[in-house]
Chain A
Amino acid sequence: MADYKLYGTSALGGYNADFEGATLKEVTGLGIVSVSAPLDGKPALTAAVKSAYGCALPKPALSVLSKDKSARLVSTQPDQFFILFDHAKPDAANHVAGLLGDAGYYTDQSDNWLTLALSGRLARSALERICPVDLGPEIFNVNASARTVMHHLGTLILRTGEDDYLLLSARSSALSFLHVVKTSVENVS
C-alpha cells in the first residue's frame, strides 16, 4: 500500500505584509482549545487551571496569561474560555485535556479560526474603521478582549501589547476578513 502523507496548510498560507505605520501577518502554529465549565463545576475547573497554568479563570472581556506566559486564556462565553498557545500538532485539545483532566469539556478550535496579528502606530486607526467596540487605549487595556462583528464577520479581538492586537475570525471566510483588515490599514496609511 502506498504511503500517503497529509501536509497542513494555514488559512492564508502565511500572509505577512508591512504597511506604512503597521504590520499585518497571519499567526500560524497556534493551538486553540475551548474549555467549558460543567454545570456546578466552576470551582473544580478554577482549581485545575490554577494548578496547571498558575492563573485564575479569565473574567468577561479580559484575557489572562499563564504564569509562564506560554498560554493566554480568553473569556468567550459566561461558562467558556479559549486557551491559546503555541502548538503546531493537531492534538491541542488532547494536550489540554491532559493538563486539566475531567474538570472541563474541551474542543479543538485550532482549525476553526484565522488569526491575524496587527501591530504598529496606525493599528488603532485602522481598527476604528471596522470595530464597533471602544478601543480607546485607556479603555481597552493590554489583555482586554472582545467578541464583536467587523464587516459582517464575527471576530475576537485581543490587545496583547501597547500597539499590538490579535484578531481571530472564522477560517472559512479568511480571505474576506483579510481583505477587510488590509483595506482598512491601506485606507489610513
Chain B
Amino acid sequence: MIRNNRIDGGLIDRTKSLKFTFNGTEMGGHAGDTLASALLANGQRLVGRSFKYHRPRGIFSAGSEEPNAMVQLRHGAWQEPNTRATMAELFDGLHATSQNHRGSLEKDFLAINDRLSNFLTAGFYYKTFMWPKSFWEKVYEPIIRASAGLGRLSGEPDPDTYDKGFLHCDVLVIGSGPAGLMAALTAGRAGARVILADEDHLLGGRLNSDMQEVAEQAAADWAAATVAELVDMGNVRVMPRTTVHGVFDHGIYGLLERKTDHLASSGGKPRQVHWRVYAKRAILCAGATERPIAFANNDRPGIMLAGAVRSYANRYAVATGKHLAIFTNNDSGWQAASDLSAKGIAITAVIDTREITPPATIKGAALVMGGRIRDTAGRKSLTSITLTNGLTLPVDCLAVSGGWSPNVHLTCHLGNRPVWDDEIAGFIPGKSLPSGMSVAGAADGDMTLSAALKSGVAEGKAAIQDLGLPPAKTKAPDSNDEHFAVTPFWQVATPKRAWVDLQNDVTTKDIKQAQREGFQAVEHLKRYTTLGMATDQGKTSNVLGLAIMAEASDKTIPETGTTVFRPPFTPVTLGAFAGSARGKNFRPTRRPPSHNWATEKGAQFVETGLWLRAQWYPRSGETKWRESVDREVRKTRASVGICDVSTLGKIDVQGRDAATFLNKVYANGFAKLAVGRVRYGIMLREDGFCYDDGTTARLSENHFVMTTTTANAGLVYQRLEFARQCLWPDLDVHLISVTDGWAQYAVAGPNSRKLLQKIVDEDHDISDEAFPFMACGAVSVCGGKPARLFRISFSGERAYEIAVPTRFGDALVRVLMAAGEEFGITPYGTEALGVMRIEKGHAAGNELNGQTTALNLGMGGMVSKNKDSIGSTLSSRPGMQGEDTLQLVGLRPVKPADKLSAGAHFLDVGAAAKLENDLGWMTSVAYSPTMGHYIGLGFVKYGHIRQGEVIRAWDGVRGTDIEVEITSPHFYDPDGGLQRG
C-alpha cells in the first residue's frame, strides 16, 4: 500500500513531479528528492535484507554513511549494485530493485539464517567449512560464492564512458556546510584560486537539514545565497556531486565528480570524471556523522538516526513515522525532537540516557530521563518499543542519537592517527596532518553552528596568510547557537542480539566473543568480526564497536586504539580510474611509416611493445602462415626483399667527445671508427651482463647515429643520459632521439644493390668499391630527396638499410616495390626477419635476455680490456669466466623431420631430467626453408668444445625429447662472403 507521508515545507521542488519504480512498483516523487526520501514519502519501509541474517531492513540515515538501503540502480548493462538510496538523486524513470534476497524482498527464503544466528557468529568462517576436505571445492565454495556480496553485477561491459582530469588550486575546501562555505568565501574573496567540493548536489551540508538561522535568514536560504556568490567568483570552482575520496602525498587529492548519475541517461558524455587535484592548501570541512546506540533488536525498519529523521522532515518534507520516539545520549536528539514537533509530527516519547534536567519541552511527549530501551517489536516495520522500566510504547519510528563522530577520515589517509576527545566523546584529528591540510567545523570537533562558521573563517584566513596573499577580511555571520553536550552511553546490556555494524550484521555479542577469544587488538577485532569492512566502511559503527570492545576489555577508548582509514572515502567505480584507457585505447599504438601500405597489402600484424609491425604478407592462395614466411625467406635470399625496420631506436649523438662517450657506453671500441663506417656494438649493464646491441654509424667526425633494439630504445636512451649527466658531465656530447623521424627499410638479397641503384641519385657512388660492407653515408634519392644509406646485414645476405625522412616513408616503400618488380621483389615481415637472422646466427632479444654475458654469446673478445666502459670491470668476475660457462651454439635435429621448440633444456643422452644435469636451454627456433629442416640457437655448457656432439633437447612443457647435434650458430654462409659481396 502506497501512502503519502509528505508534510509541508522542505527544499524539494513540488512543481516537478517524477515517476520511478522500486521492485516493479511505480511510485512518485519530486525534484530534490533522493530515492530514499521518495521511498519514505511513499511509505516504503522495507528496502533490503541484511547480509548474514537476511533480516528486514529499512532506511537508516540520510547520507553517504547509509548501511542498509543498498539498491541495484538502473537495469540492463547500466545496472549498478550497492547504490545508496540516500545518495541517489531521483530522476524521472528511475528504476531500482532491492538486493540480497532469494525470492521476494517480502518473503526472503534465506531469512532462515536469522534462526541459525547462534552458528553464524563472529569468525564462523574460520570454524566451519573444514570437513570433509573434498566438500570445499564442490559444495562449500559454490554456496559461499552464491551468497557472497550484496548486489549483482550486470555481467555486461560498462556502456558508459568516463574521463579523468587535472586541476590546480591554492585552496581546496572539502565539504560545503557552514565551515566549508565560510572557508571558501574567505579564501575566494581574498583572491585565492579555490575549489569547493561537496558529495551532495545541494551545497550547504547541515544548513539544509536543520531549522537554524544564519545572518537573520533561514540557514538554507543563507547557504543558497552564499553558494551563488561563490559560483559567480571567477577564481572559485564550485563542484557539487563531487567526493574528495583520497589524500595523497604533497597536496594531491583524488576527486570523483558524478556528471550524469542524476539524469536518465549520460547522453554519450562521460558519466563521471576522476580528477587529480594539486592543492597548495586544503581545508577539511567534512562535518560529523551521527552514530547509534546498541540495544536489543535495534535494526528494525523504522529505527533511524535522529539527524536523518530531522533531515527527512526539514529538507525532504517527509514524515518518517506517525508516532515517533527519540532515544538519545546528547542534546542533538532534543533538537531533532523540537524540529519534528514544530512540523506537526507526533512525538510519543523522548528517552535520554542521562540523568539531567530535560533540555527542552516537547509537546505531548513523555520525557524519560535516565531511560533505556530494552527491546523492540515489528519484524518488517517497527510497531513498538519497550523500556527497561517496563513501559511499552506504540512507536512506528525511533530516532536514535548515540553521539557524533567527526569525519576525520581524510586526515588519516597518510598514516596520521586521530585522538580521542572526551568532551565530545569522539575522535578528532591529531596534531600531525597531511602537509598543507587544516580542519574546520565539526570535523575538527567544533560541533555547534556558530563555532563551525567561525572556524571556517579562521582556517580560510590562515590558508591565505600561509600562501602569502593579502590578508582576508571576511567575518563569520551571526547565527543562533544550539547547545552541544553528550554523555557517553554505548549499549543497553542484553542477552539478545544488539546491532553495531548493520551492513555486515555484527552485534555486541560478536564483539564480546572476539574479546573472549583473544582478538582484542583493534585490527583483530575488525577482521575477526568484519566490523567496519562493508561498503560503508563502518561510518556509523566503528566508534561504537571500539567503545564496546573497550568496555569488554575494561580499558579506555584511547587505550583500545583505532584503525586508520585508507582511500577511497566512499566506493569509486573502477571505470572512473580507467577513464578512457579501455580496450584498444588502453595504451598508445605506434605505427611504422609503411603501415598504411602494409594494411593495403593485407599484412598480418604483431604487437611489438607499442608498435604494430607487419609479421608476414600473405599472398592469395596461402592459407598457413608458414607458406608465407617460407616464401618470403626464399625469395629474399634468391633475389631481393624489403622490410620496414623503422621501429629500431635511433639516437643522434653529436659533440667533440661523442666518440669518447661511445667508447664508455659500448663494451667494444668506437673511438677509432672511421667516418663513413658502421660498427656493431654490444652494451653491458654495470654488472657485466649484456642488455642491448645495435649498430652505430659515424656520419662525420663529431656526428654518430646509434641504433638500439626496438624494445630497449627508451631504456638505452635513459641509461645514456645517466652516463652523460651523472657519470661524465664534462664531456661535450649531446643526444636526441630520432626514431620517429626516419623511415628505414632493410633491402636484402643478391639484387639489393641493383635495386638501390635505381633510386639512389647518380652522383652517389654505391658500388662495392665505394660502398663496401659496413659503409654508411648521406645520399639522396629520387631526384634530390635526402636519405641515409647503411650497408649492414641482419639476414646474412648482401644487404642495406635505406632511411628517408618519415614524410617520404609511404612513398618510398611503394617506389621500392615498383622498382623491384623486375627482380621479383618481396616484402618480408618480422617472422621472415627472424628466420633469416637465426639462419645467420645473429643474437637477438631471446639471446640477449639480460641473463647472458658477452662470453656466453661468443663475443667475449669484444669486451675491451684497454678502456673503461659500463660493465667491463664486473664482466671480468671469476664466476663468469669458468670453462663450463654457457656458450651460444647452433642446434639441428638428428632426425631431419623433428620439430624443435624454444625453451627446451639440454641434457646429455641418457641423463635423467634433473636440475643437476641441466646443460642449458634453446633460445630461438625456426623452420629453415634454406636448410630444409628446423634449426635452433641455444646456450650449452662447454658448447665451444662440444661441436658435432649429440645431446637432447628436453621440453617438459610440450612433452618432447629430441636428439640434437651441436653446430656452429652460423648455419647460413658461415664465412660471411655473401654480405661482404
Direct contact of A and B (CB under 8 A): yes
Output the least CB separation between B270 and chain A (Å): 5
Instruction: Pick the contact of B592: A5, A39, A105, A172 (CB < 8 A).
Output: A172
Whole-angstrom CA separation of A63 from B45 in the bound complex = 65
Q: Which B-chain residue is minimally distant from A184 (CB atoms)?
A: B163
Q: Which A-chain residue is minimally distant from B273 (CB atoms)?
A: A129
Whether B589 pairs with A176 at a CB distance below 8 angstroms is: yes
Output the least CB separation between B726 and chain A (Å): 14
List of B residues within 8 angstroms of A110 by Cβ:
741, 805, 807
A107: Cβ under 8 A from any B Cβ: yes
List of A residues within 8 angstroms of B655 by Cβ:
38-39, 105
Whole-angstrom CA separation of A7 from B730 in the bound complex = 43
A152: Cβ under 8 A from any B Cβ: yes
B380: Cβ under 8 A from any A Cβ: no
- Contact stretch, chosen from A18-26, A50-58, A115-123, A131-139: A131-139
Whole-angstrom CA separation of A134 from B170 in the bound complex = 12
Q: Which A-chain residue is minimally distant from B804 (CB atoms)?
A: A6
Whether A151 pairs with B581 at a CB distance below 8 angstroms is: yes
Whether B783 pairs with A8 at a CB distance below 8 angstroms is: no
Can you list, as one digit per residue, whether each of A1-43 has a CB less than 8 Å from chain B (1) or not (0)?
Answer: 1111111111000000000000000000000001010111100
Whole-angstrom CA separation of A139 from B269 in the bound complex = 29
Whether A9 pairs with B811 at a CB distance below 8 angstroms is: yes
Whole-angstrom CA separation of A179 from B732 in the bound complex = 40
Whether A128 pairs with B807 at a CB distance below 8 angstroms is: no
B617: Cβ under 8 A from any A Cβ: no
Instruction: Pick the contact of B734: A80, A130, A174, A183 (CB < 8 A).
Output: A80
B555: Cβ under 8 A from any A Cβ: no
Output the least CB separation between A74 and chain B (Å): 14
Output the least CB separation between A125 and chain B (Å): 9
| Contact A131:B741 (CB < 8 A) given known A80-B736, A90-B807, A107-B652 | no
Count of A interface residues, CB-CB < 8 Å:
53
Within 8 A of A (CB), among B725-754: 730-732, 734, 736-742
Can you list, as one digit per residue, whether each of B2-30 has a CB less than 8 Å from chain A (1) or not (0)?
Answer: 00000000000000000000000000000
Output the least CB separation between A26 and chain B (Å): 13
Whether B589 pairs with A132 at a CB distance below 8 angstroms is: no
| Contact A179:B585 (CB < 8 A) given known A3-B783, A39-B730, A111-B740 | yes
A99: Cβ under 8 A from any B Cβ: no
Within 8 A of A (CB), among B446-499: none
Instruction: Pick the contact of B589: A2, A5, A175 (CB < 8 A).
Output: A175
Q: Which A-chain residue is minimally distant from B731 (CB atoms)?
A: A39
Whether B590 pairs with A170 at a CB distance below 8 angstroms is: yes
Instruction: Pick the contact of A8: B164, B193, B652, B811 (CB < 8 A).
Output: B811
Whether A107 pairs with B736 at a CB distance below 8 angstroms is: yes
Whether A38 pairs with B732 at a CB distance below 8 angstroms is: yes
B383: Cβ under 8 A from any A Cβ: no
- Contact stretch, chosen from B76-84, B88-96, B312-320, B812-820: B812-820
Whether A108 pairs with B741 at a CB distance below 8 angstroms is: yes
Output the least CB separation between A92 and chain B (Å): 10
Whether A131 pairs with B166 at a CB distance below 8 angstroms is: yes
Whether A1 pairs with B805 at a CB distance below 8 angstroms is: no
Q: Which B-chain residue is minimally distant from A78 (CB atoms)?
A: B725
B758: Cβ under 8 A from any A Cβ: yes
A70: Cβ under 8 A from any B Cβ: no
List of B residues within 8 angstroms of A91 by Cβ:
786
Instruction: Pick the contact of B782: A5, A113, A136, A179 (CB < 8 A).
Output: A5
Output the least CB separation between B195 and chain A (Å): 12
Output the least CB separation between B605 and chain A (Å): 14
A177: Cβ under 8 A from any B Cβ: yes
Within 8 A of B (CB), among A141-169: 151-153
Output the least CB separation between B258 and chain A (Å): 15
List of A residues within 8 angstroms of B810 by Cβ:
9
Whole-angstrom CA separation of A27 from B163 in the bound complex = 27
B500: Cβ under 8 A from any A Cβ: no
| Contact A39:B732 (CB < 8 A) given known A3-B783, A90-B785, A153-B588 | yes
Whether B278 pairs with A173 at a CB distance below 8 angstroms is: no
Whether A6 pairs with B808 at a CB distance below 8 angstroms is: yes
Within 8 A of B (CB), among A70-121: 79-80, 90-91, 105, 107-113
Q: Considering residues A38, A41, A79, A175, which has the most beta carbons from chain B within 10 angstroms of its beta carbon?
A: A38
Output the least CB separation between B810 and chain A (Å): 5
Whether A6 pairs with B166 at a CB distance below 8 angstroms is: no
Whether B741 pairs with A128 at a CB distance below 8 angstroms is: no
Instruction: Pick the contact of A112: B269, B654, B656, B740 (CB < 8 A).
Output: B740
Whole-angstrom CA separation of A171 from B738 in the bound complex = 11
Within 8 A of A (CB), among B631-671: 652, 654-656
List of A residues within 8 angstroms of B734 by Cβ:
36, 38, 79-80, 105
Whether B741 pairs with A136 at a CB distance below 8 angstroms is: no
Q: Considering residues B278, B610, B738, B740, which has the most beta carbons from chain A within 10 angstroms of its beta carbon?
A: B740
**Shortest beta-carbon contacts, A-B, top 5:** A112-B741, A8-B807, A176-B588, A36-B734, A39-B732
14 other A-B residue contacts (CB within 8 Å) besides A7-B808, A105-B702, A111-B807: A4-B819, A5-B815, A6-B804, A8-B808, A9-B809, A36-B654, A90-B807, A105-B703, A105-B734, A107-B654, A108-B741, A129-B166, A172-B740, A175-B591
Could you name 28 residue pairs across A and B whose Cβ atoms are closer than 8 Å? Answer: A1-B758, A5-B783, A6-B781, A8-B805, A36-B736, A39-B655, A80-B736, A90-B785, A90-B786, A90-B805, A90-B808, A105-B654, A105-B702, A128-B167, A129-B273, A130-B165, A132-B166, A133-B166, A134-B168, A136-B168, A151-B580, A152-B588, A170-B590, A173-B610, A174-B591, A175-B591, A176-B589, A180-B580
